[in-house]
Amino acid sequence: MRDQEPDHTAGSERRLTTREAADLLGVKPETVYAYVSRGQLGSRRAPGSRGSTFDADEVRALARRNRRDGGTSAASAAGQELTVRTRLTLIESDRFYYRGVDAVELAARHTYEEVAEWLWTGQPRPGAAFPVPESSVAVARRAVDALPEHAGPADRLRVAAIAAAVTDPLRFDLTEDAVLGTARALIPTLVAALPPVLRDGDDQDPIARRLWTRLSGQDADEPTLRALDTALCLLVDHDLAASTLAVRVAASARAHAYAAVSAGLGVIEGPLHGAAGGLAHRMLLEVLDLGSAAPVVAEELRAGRRIPGLGHRLYPGEDPRARALFALLEDIPRAAPALAAARDVQATAARHTPLHANVDLALAVLTVSSGMAPTAAETIFAVARTAGWIAHALEEYGERPLRMRPSGLYSGPKPPRPLPE
């Protein structure tokens, strides 16, 4: 993506483009954004521009600090702090893989439980099941039932995870077998702790069917259940997303698996992460209500918001997760209206710039057509990703403790200063 022209603000020096800031710092443009993400450099977007601009004096000050600190460039520092070696998920060329196996193909042939076991152990476990642990579920349900009605999915799941943790005296055992035991008990506990919409499910059912009873009051037909199970499989892991990084930081400090999962649940509520599917859900309902995507897309753009469910920074082309889910949804008659609304949104938004649907839009089609609440997409995402978080925690427990501790580059007033009066 090319930056727009620099911002010329009246009465001040013109601002630098990303390329100019990178040249001044002697780093790559990606590293400039690494500085921004760490709060070491401020950025601003000019009206009508997609590119960021930077204060020239601030960039020069950062360049001086880098030279003073021994010439350590942000590229080398960022390479150490922002890159984590993992054997779990690879994303490249608009495809993604779990332990080297195409994730879409894996999801087409295996259940969520089987995919989770593959990610955890690298060993196939046909027929894998996660029985409901009655003791932890009873405590988790009481804790979740005590929450106010307006509590969101992440609130309920965090409370359920904490409640399950206090019932487990072995939670501080971080050996692989112990953590795997925690994982196989925690996921069904999270689902069972959620209040059923109309009726409770069978505790021996697969996770997808049990989750359905917590999200929809409609009867569960096999094609729709298969779509839900596939969504769980496709959302298990996606490299170092924000919530996964939080989990690895917690695991680096040797927090137990329940606490590491709780850290992940604390991050997914953001509209740019786990809550994105809910925004797409509400948008589709508006399109269905108005009969056209044009006024809905126009209002989103007028408000300065991105269109939910479109584009993904890791996929220049189509999100393979969306493609797989849409293919399943096309065979479900009751999904046809929501599917048409999603295609209308995509076509309307892409009149000038090609945009592809991402998994949030496909997930919204599933939740809308299944009579679920807008928050259902966030619940599906969180339950699915719990398996991936456990896999990353397991990896991190095998690494040097506290290695996820970056060093800050102080940019405040030079000490010593007098005590404040």
User: Among 233, 267, 234, 237, which residue's Cα sits nearest to residue 250?
Assistant: 267
Give the single-character DSSP code of 357. B
> How does pLDDT run across 177-207, given as a tens digit for each residue?
999 999 999 999 999 999 999 777 778 899 9
Give the single-character DSSP code of 312. B
pLDDT at 50: 66
> How does pLDDT run across 344-393, given as a tens digit for each residue?
999 999 887 788 999 999 999 999 999 999 999 999 999 999 999 999 99
User: Among 145, 146, 193, which residue's Cα sits nearest to residue 165?
Assistant: 193
Cα(73)–Cα(69) distance, integer angstroms? 9
pTM above threshold 0.85: no
Mean pLDDT of the chain: 89
Cα(360)–Cα(4) distance, integer angstroms? 29
Q: Tell me the two tokens of residue 252.
A: 């680096």
Instruction: Respond yes or no on whether the N-terminal peptide bond of residue 416 is cis (omega within 30° of 0).
Output: yes
pLDDT at 49: 65
Cα(146)–Cα(330) distance, integer angstroms? 40
pLDDT at 13: 61
Give the single-character DSSP code of 265. H
Q: Is 97 helix (H, G, I), strand (E, B) or coil?
A: strand
Residue 76 has pLDDT above 60, yes or no: no
User: Among 354, 362, 355, 369, which residue's Cα sits nearest to residue 324?
Assistant: 362
* Per-residue pLDDT band at 263 (split at 50, 70, 90): very high
Cα(331)–Cα(401) distance, integer angstroms? 48
Structure-token match 């102080």, residue found:
410
Q: Tell me the residue length of the chain.
A: 421
Residue 409 has pLDDT above 90, yes or no: no
User: Among 59, 56, 66, 13, which residue's Cα sits nearest to residue 32?
Assistant: 59
Mean pLDDT value of segment 303-319: 92
Amino acid occupying residue 34: A
Cβ–Cβ contacts within 10 Å for residue 110, how many? Answer: 21
